[in-house]
Structure 1
């Protein structure tokens, strides 16, 4: 979900010096939930804010707790950044991460992005949430749906009671145009399309 700053947008990684992000986690600003929901309002916050923790302050141990085996992730926003500036129709609508291992490996390699949770809504098997990411530059607003399942292993999953949840499928979209603008000013030697000159200056 993080945007793979150095490896995706800058083909000449040696010329791209990413500026560090601050690592923070969020507390709920405003949440809503159906009182008859199978996932409680409190657990919905733990699930959504837990995903934010992966983005902002990654640890393999927590990733293993929150993310289920068989995890998949789909985001046209990420695909747009990955294939910028030559995005075509076949780049979109596909699975972005096809396994738990590939997702966690990708997140581990990226700098943390401050995350703030805005709202949550929950059902019996999913949590929808709005959030703001704060890379250097303009804030990036997004919305996500995390389909969850009960944790199958002891010591995994999040939840206030005996029932623990893990994220199995994630759908997330955010303002990738703003993110590209932020990257232009946040990475030395890279322009919005990821082009660099031989000496690392903007082409």
Structure 2
């Protein structure tokens, strides 16, 4: 009897213990079926779209302007050497105007006239006001064969007026033009005179005198030539000139040391 009662009591306590609510802090076991999480979710994009790898390159140089094309009835481009004169200029052509063969012949004739037919009117028309003359032959003649007082290799005439004052008092001499050459802004010539002492009271001989002249020019649209002579470089046989004018008397041929002359 006591054993039966004890067994029943134990069974009652065991049933009560399992029937009581779960301790606080524990959640009840889920009931029913719970949806499983998706087995695969698409991954987020791994990169943003890349920017363009390059921007269009700017042009490396500005476009060239169109080439000048003269109209059918308009002025034509110049070819070869031109002329400085007013009649031959084109305002659209920036290239420097050059002396022509005709200009060179005129320049050579100006030089001839300055020696053979000098006039102040010619000098004023053909020379620049700041005209300069370099001629060592003239300097040695003015020194009468001596070293001074004029510097032999210096300036002969430093202005147009100085040249006019000197040349206007000289007797005019015969003059022959031998050859003429020219560049864009200069004229070169060879010349001769067969009577360099013409009109001089002490004329002693007629030895031919040959010379060269180089004239630098500048354009001038206000005179009759279209240019002016700015600088003159001139040389000639000053020894023959001095002999012809009686400044020096050559040693007679019979008295010369022929052997010594052969060594020169």
Question: In angstroms, what is the RMSD of aligned CA positions?
Answer: 2.1
Aligned 1:7-18 pairs, distance under 5 A: none
In 1, Cα distance between the equivalents of 2:129 and 2:149? 29
Residue 177 of structure 1 aligns to a residue in which SS? Answer: helix
Query: 1:166 offset after TM fit, Å?
Result: 0.8
In 1, Cα distance between the equivalents of 2:115 and 2:150? 27
Aligned 1:158-169 pairs, distance under 5 A: 158=225, 164-169=226-231
Query: Number of residues paired by the alignment?
Result: 146
In 1, Cα distance between the equivalents of 2:167 and 2:150? 24
Residue number in structure 1 paired with 2:166 = 106
1:120 to 166, 172, 180: 180
Query: 1:39 offset after TM fit, Å?
Result: 1.0
TM-score (norm 1): 0.66
In 2, Cα distance between the equivalents of 1:157 and 1:149? 13
Query: 1:89 offset after TM fit, Å?
Result: 11
Q: 1:61 to 1:81 in 2, by over 3 A?
A: same
Matched, 1:177 2:233: no
Residue number in structure 2 paired with 1:147 = 216
Mark the runs of 5 or more structure 1 residues left unpaired by the alignment. 1-34, 159-163, 185-190, 194-203
Residue number in structure 2 paired with 1:8 = none
Indicate the structure whose relative CO is greater, using CA pairs within 8 Å and at least 6 residues apart. 1
Quick check: 2:139–2:150 contact (8 Å CA) kept in 1?
Answer: no
In 2, Cα distance between the equivalents of 1:134 and 1:149? 32
Aligned 1:47-62 pairs, distance under 5 A: 47-62=107-122
Quick check: 1:68–1:151 contact (8 Å CA) kept in 2?
Answer: no
Aligned 1:19-168 pairs, distance under 5 A: 36=81, 38-87=98-147, 91-135=151-195, 136=198, 137-151=206-220, 154=222, 156-158=223-225, 164-168=226-230
**CA offsets, 1:48-93, max 9 Å, x none?**
1111101101111111111111100011111111123322698222
TM-score (norm 2): 0.52
